[in-house]
């Protein structure tokens, strides 16, 4: 009887369409929830280091002195932890998939955030 079950499964597999797509030949479906790669808005980043601490693969490195943010694309597992924990929401997931990386490349981005000036306090005694 097991032979007939196996034959039934084999015929069903041959006559049905494949469950997966041929990715390089056919583009993958993109939805709003697709995770392509992490991008940063360097003008909003405050160099707090939360994304670096929460990254499970340690792909993100922030240098406060040099004001740089860098990510190693080969180490990044696209888990979205850095995006979820960013306090100023300067990180986001781009839905476009990045091209395949053959050699190790570290993407280095200069942070251009300028801290806003504090408003001056008015002296109540002089008024």
**For the chain, domain boundaries:** 30-110
| Neighbour-count burial of 61, counting CB atoms closer than 10 A to its CB (0-12 exposed, 13-18 middle, 19+ buried) | middle
Whole-number Å distance between alpha carbons of 43 and 68: 12
**Within 13 A of 27's CA, how many CA atoms are on the CB side?**
8
In the numeric block, which tokens belong to residue 15?
């006559």
Query: Does domain 30-110 match CATH 3.40.980.10?
Result: no
pLDDT digit of tens for each residue in the chain (127 aa)? 677 888 988 898 888 887 777 776 777 777 777 788 899 999 999 999 999 999 999 999 999 999 999 999 889 998 999 999 999 999 998 887 777 767 777 888 888 887 777 888 776 655 5
């Amino acid at each position: 009887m097991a032979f007939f079950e196996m034959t039934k499964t084999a015929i069903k597999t041959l006559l049905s369409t494949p469950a997966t797509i041929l990715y390089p030949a056919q583009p993958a479906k993109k939805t709003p929830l697709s995770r392509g790669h992490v991008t940063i808005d360097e003008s909003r980043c405050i160099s707090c280091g939360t994304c670096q601490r929460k990254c499970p693969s340690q792909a993100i490195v922030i240098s406060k002195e040099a004001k740089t943010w860098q990510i190693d694309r080969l180490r990044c597992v696209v888990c979205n932890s850095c995006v979820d924990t960013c306090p100023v929401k300067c990180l986001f997931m781009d839905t476009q998939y990045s091209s395949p990386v053959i050699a190790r490349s570290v993407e280095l981005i200069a942070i251009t955030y300028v801290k806003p000036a504090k408003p001056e306090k008015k002296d109540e005694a002089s008024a």
